[in-house]
Structure 1
Amino acid sequence: MRVQLFLALVLLSLIVGAQDFQGKATYKTHRNMDIKVSTDQNAPNSAMQKKLHDQLKKMSQKTFTLNFNKSESTYTQNKELKPETQTGGVSIVMIGDGGGNDVLYKDVNKKIYRNKTEISGKNFLIEDKLQTADWEMTAETKKIGKFTCYKATRSREEDRVSFTMTDGDKEETKEKVTVTTEVWYTPEIPVSNGPGMFWGLPGLILEVHEGKLTIVCTELVLNPSDKVSIDKPTKGKKVSQEKFDKIMREKTEEMMERFKNNRKSKNKGESISIEIQG
């Protein structure tokens, strides 16, 4: 049995080593979000809160396609019907969502990436280096489809910001949290790639659990009959990741300020509290 497995892996490695090796993987994602909305301090579980929670859940459920070869990949969102973005008079705006037109290009050999994204109708092209993750690989396995996958984990600290808005007055809370990432990769497809910015393991990543984010591969095709397209995005204002993060913070502050002014001008005497974390 071990000899057969060894020979199978050698054969697969030879296939992957071929110059024209390509693949296409479909991933489904969702993110759990904590949201608290009330117009009455005694009604924390209001109908408004449930509607907004359900709406945010729908907005976080997306499908992506990863086109890849031995070293390069593109990760794009599939075109789907957009869910409603207004509930009970409250509009939901996802800053940095890109409108479903984002293109993330990675070259894991050169350790670089390009990310074409959009904020408020303006295109940006983020160019930067891929950060090497300090993965802790384990011997734990499970089957995902027909592939044997191994678990790897990592932890990192990040600053998390939550907002509370009451009658137009914003309260911002910052805290340092530890984010734990668990991924499942298969050495049977020995390419050091995966969905989004996940990469750096001796096999394709098929499943991700990071905080409240879940990504699962639902379909995988190796060497499809129709050649996959892996093109670097070129359109947009070129910025570094650090510069783009600063722009994102500024846009978020602008959005919160507009919400604050609208609440004060339109709803004097009425108190509404919104708290979003996730």
Structure 2
Amino acid sequence: MNFNTIKASVVCLLFFTTFFSFAQKDFQGIAFYESKTSVDMSNFGGGQMSEERKKEISERMKSALEKTYTLTFNQSESMYKEEEKLEAPSQGRGPNFRAMIPTGGPQYKNVKDLKVLQEQEFFGKQFLIKDDLQKLEWELGSETKTIGQYMCFKATAIKKDDSFNLGNFGRRGSDSENNETEEKDAPEIVVTAWYTPQIPVNQGPDQYWGLPGLVLEVNAGRTTILCSKIILNPSEKETIKKPSKGKEVTQEEYDEIVKKKMAEMESMRNNRGGGNRGGGGRR
């Protein structure tokens, strides 16, 4: 019996030993995730920014890109949403990165109907992204590790890097040319996920799903999402409601809106800064 056969047997055993506890109609679980994203500061500001200023901006972006989420799920539906937290008053000069970064509202996934709905706020406007659920072509690996009390298996996939790139903000030059080049040459990244067959639902955080077990960890480019706590069949169950607020758009339409707005902001910034010498940020 080769190793892959043994691995498949272990997965099947874990699946069937836990299946009946999850087959009940009112089954529900809640998983808590921490998400962190780093930003490449090497080209920020077109190379004209001091290292001290880059460090200051990096710290502000780090705070804006560290978030906690909850994933409420059953066998066919899930709701992924950011936990609210009290923000410290903004200090210092420079852009408000939380305002610039698209704010993801509740994300509803239905893995049975293959549909996704997500409320998204961008520059004070509310959108409702409604689209087909996209599945990555996962390759199941043989590696295992333990996350909390759960045995997890490794899976990998390739996807385009669609992360929001703040590193390009502040570069001087032709915005339309930069955007067209980035769109054509959008890099592909390896997504590494760790899932547990001990919770046999093909759900996961954010856009990640489609594996034979709940996804507990994702590493994709500069973003890491890690599950810190799981509650199965909580005493007080939460109704999973479809998001409904905002102007209805597809994911492609929303991405185009964001791209145009960011190009507009950069053009305005360059026009205002046309008279500054040395690209400095002096008052």
Query: So what's the TM-score if we normalise by structure 2?
Result: 0.84
Aligned twin of 1:10: 16
2:276 to 251, 268, 271: 268
**Which runs of structure 2 are paired with 1:118-197 in the superposition (5 Å)?**
118-157=121-160, 163=168, 165=170, 169=173, 172=178, 174=182, 175-197=185-207
- Structure 2 CA distance for aligned equivalents of residues 33 and 144 of structure 1: 26
Are the equivalent residues in 2 in contact too, given 1:30–1:61 (CA < 8 A)? yes
Q: CA deviation at 1:257?
A: 1.7
Q: CA deviation at 1:5?
A: 10
Aligned twin of 1:51: 56
Seen in structure 2, the aligned counterparts of structure 1 residues 182 and 38 have a Cα distance that, compared at 3 Å, is: closer
Aligned twin of 1:232: 242
- Give the paired residue count: 263
Percent of residue pairs identical: 35
- Structure 1 CA distance for aligned equivalents of residues 29 and 250 of structure 2: 29
Runs of 5+ consecutive residues of structure 1 not aligned to the other structure: 274-278
Q: CA deviation at 1:204?
A: 0.2
Q: CA deviation at 1:177?
A: 1.7
Aligned twin of 1:253: 263
- Structure 2 CA distance for aligned equivalents of residues 182 and 39 of structure 1: 31
- Structure 2 CA distance for aligned equivalents of residues 187 and 198 of structure 1: 15
2:95 to 91, 94, 107: 91
Q: CA deviation at 1:97?
A: 2.3
Query: So what's the TM-score if we normalise by structure 1?
Result: 0.85
How large is the RMSD of aligned CA atoms in angstroms?
2.8
Are the equivalent residues in 2 in contact too, given 1:25–1:65 (CA < 8 A)? yes
2:74 to 58, 69, 74: 69
For 1:34, what is the secondary structure of its paired residue? coil
For 1:242, what is the secondary structure of its paired residue? helix
Runs of 5+ consecutive residues of structure 2 not aligned to the other structure: 1-8
Paired amino acid for 2:150: F
Paired amino acid for 1:34: D
Q: Choose between structure 1 and 2: higher strand proportion.
A: 1
For 1:48, what is the secondary structure of its paired residue? helix
Q: Choose between structure 1 and 2: higher helix proportion.
A: 2
